[in-house]
Chain A
Amino acid sequence: MTYSTRSLALLATAALALSACASKPDPVAEPVPVVQRPAPAPVADPGPRVITPAAPVTAEPGRPVPGSIDDFAYTVGGDPRVYFAYDQYTLSPEARDTLRRQAEWLKRYGNYTAVVEGHADERGTRQYNIALGARRANSVQSFLVSQGVNPSRLTTVSYGKERPVDPRSNEEGWARNRNGHTNLRPLGES
Chain B
Amino acid sequence: MIRLLSLFLALFGLCLPLAASAQIEVDITQGNVDPVPIAVPDFLGDDPETRELGAQIAGVIRDNLESSAVFRALDPASFLETQTDIDYEPTFADWRVIRADALVSGRVVRDSPGRVRVEFRLWDVFAGQQLEGIRFSTTAANWRRTAHKSADAIYKALTGEEGYFDSRIVFVDQRGPKVNREKRLAIMDQDGHDPQYLLGGSDLVVSPQFDPGSQTIVFMSYETLPPQVYMLDIETGRRELLGSFPGMTFAPRFSPSGDALVMSMEQRGNIDIYRMDLQTRSTERLTTDPGIDVSASYSPDGRRIVFQSDRGGPPQLYTMNADGSSPKRISFGDGRYNQPVWSPRGDKIAFVRQNRGKFSIGVMDPDGSNERILTDDYLLDMPSWSPNGRIILFTKETRGRDARAELWSVDLTGRNLKRVDTPGQATDPAWSPLLD
Contact = CB atoms under 8 A, between A and B. Distances in A.
Interface in B29-58: none
A139 B178 contact: no
Contacts of B382: 125-126
B401 A128 contact: no
Contacts of A31: 200
A89 B195 CA distance: 40
Interface string A160-185: 10111111110000000000000000
A65 interface: no
Contacts of B294: 127-128, 130-131
Interface residues of B, number: 73
A138 B268 contact: yes
Contact of A9 (B193, B199, B207, B421): B199
B60 interface: no
Contacts of B220: 130
Interface in A150-167: 155-160, 162-167
Counting chain A CB atoms within 10 Å of each CB, the highest count among B195, B421, B428 belongs to: B195
Contacts of A35: 201, 203, 223
The majority secondary structure among interface residues of chain A is loop
Interface in B398-417: 399-401, 403
A157 B2 contact: no
B346 interface: no
Contacts of B187: 12
A4 interface: yes
B128 to A, nearest CB: 41
B269 A134 contact: yes
Contacts, number: 174
A189 to B, nearest CB: 12
A20 B422 CA distance: 8
Nearest to A115: B225
Contact of B206 (A4, A32, A130): A130
B232 interface: yes
B315 A128 contact: yes
B306 interface: no
Contacts of A57: none
A16 B264 contact: no
A33 B200 contact: yes
A12 B195 CA distance: 10
A131 to B, nearest CB: 4
Contacts of B111: none
Contact of B424 (A2, A24, A130, A155): A24
24 contacts: A2-B4, A2-B237, A3-B237, A9-B201, A10-B237, A10-B239, A11-B200, A12-B1, A14-B197, A15-B197, A43-B180, A125-B295, A126-B207, A127-B339, A128-B292, A128-B339, A130-B206, A130-B250, A132-B292, A134-B266, A134-B269, A138-B269, A160-B206, A168-B401
